Structure 1
Amino acid sequence: MATPEQAPRWDEQVQRRLARGEETALGELYDRLAPMVHGLAGRILGDQAAAAQLTREIFAHAWEHPEDFDPDRGTLRSWLGALTHHRAVERLRARRAAERAPGAEAEIRAVATAARVQYVVDSLPQPLRETIAVTYYDGRTYHETARLLGISEQAAKQRMRLGLELLATELADERARQDGAGNGNGSGNGSGET
């Protein structure tokens, strides 16, 4: 597994290779991050064909505009995740507007928030992710979680608390970015789009 120091170097190398037009860089990027992009798009759109189409568009954008990625603002994973989230929500809004469904905006926000929560949980370190999955998603007590994971009940509580704190921080940061994007300056998603 890559250390935190290695991840940005890989991201920057792939960005430079994409800028030079190296198709192998696109293949490497796709192989590593397409499952995350497709999964996030699928959770938001609820349509696998639309998710596959959006996945192709996201990687086409990375190929055509590698300069939009700013390594100082995060990783390629986070950039592609934010770009996917943004475009999928736009598609969902357009689809709902076309359907003229009442309450569509609330539904879109709920679906987008659920997808974002799942994305953040999936990005947590394995011990935190599995503790949240067992405790929250499976509805187990801390005692049951500790027994299943082979850890102390105190460790289960600490992992759950840290995981939820990280989740809350990431969601608050996301809300701040969305609020910044909605104020007319167009700089909220880091993708260079307005």
Structure 2
Amino acid sequence: MATPGSAPRWDEQLQRRLARGEETALGELYDQLAPMVHGLAGRILADQTAAAQLTREIFAHVWEHPESFDPAQGSLRSWLGALTHRRAVDRLRVRRAQQPGAEGPGEEEIRAVATAARVQYVVDSLPQSLRETIAVTYYDGRTYQEAARRLGISEQTAKQRMRLGLELLATELAEERARQRRTGQPGGSEDGGT
């Protein structure tokens, strides 16, 4: 949250504009964060039509309930990510319940898919240098030495970037688990607030 005398963050300014009913604020928010929302929903649901529908619903929720975002709890991007994650996981559970005899995903599989999507969302949110180092070392299975050569950086820099990226990832996932515990729900509260 902004301190007295400082300019409010983009998140806070946007929330105020949404609360005043400024349609341009919704357009700005959509332009900035719809790709992230749609991508996360698509990774969890594995269905682009359902992801597009959920994306529309998420932004409709923000338009109708801008007060449900609390800037003191974190960024608008993080809040939208958590809200998207929670609703997409709920959709998977509903889909499974509607197919009682079918081999739909079990609860463990739903959690695994949701966790993998959340991890990918966090990695995608990292600064470019950290993201590319994690991609080369972790996803491509390369050593620090190979990553350093491939990225044109020192081995020490590769190690530092990997360590920082993993620390940020662990912190974000721990914060998500804490939010879930505070709300007493596997996916947190409906509006994402705490």
Task: State TM-score, norm by structure 1.
Answer: 0.89
Alignment: residue pair count: 187
Unaligned stretches of 5+ residues in structure 1: 1-5
Aligned residues: percent identity? 81
Aligned residue in 2 for 1:88? 88
| Aligned residues: CA RMSD | 2.3
CA distance in 1, matches of 2:33, 2:95: 26
Distance of aligned partners of 1:79 and 1:7 in 2 relative to their CA distance in 1, 3 Å threshold:
farther
CA distance in 2, matches of 1:82, 1:8: 22
Post-superposition Cα deviations, 1:166-192, rounded to whole Å, max 9, x if no partner, equal 1112112212222232269x9x44826
Query: Is 2:53 the counterpart of 1:53?
Result: yes
Distance of aligned partners of 1:103 and 1:36 in 2 relative to their CA distance in 1, 3 Å threshold:
closer
Query: Is 2:3 the counterpart of 1:13?
Result: no
Bigger Cα displacement from structure 2, 141-150 vs 8-17: 8-17
Bigger Cα displacement from structure 2, 140-149 vs 111-120: 140-149
Would you say the 8 A contact 2:79–2:192 is kept in 1? no
Q: Structure 1 or 2: larger helix share? A: 1
Aligned residue in 2 for 1:167? 169
Amino acid paired to 1:68: S
Query: Is 2:22 the counterpart of 1:22?
Result: yes
CA distance in 2, matches of 1:140, 1:19: 48
Task: State TM-score, norm by structure 2.
Answer: 0.89
Query: Is 2:156 the counterpart of 1:154?
Result: yes
Aligned residue in 2 for 1:3? none
Post-superposition Cα deviations, 1:109-156, rounded to whole Å, max 9, x if no partner, equal 000000000011111111111100011111111111001111111111
Amino acid paired to 1:51: A
Distance of aligned partners of 1:107 and 1:66 in 2 relative to their CA distance in 1, 3 Å threshold:
same
Amino acid paired to 1:83: L
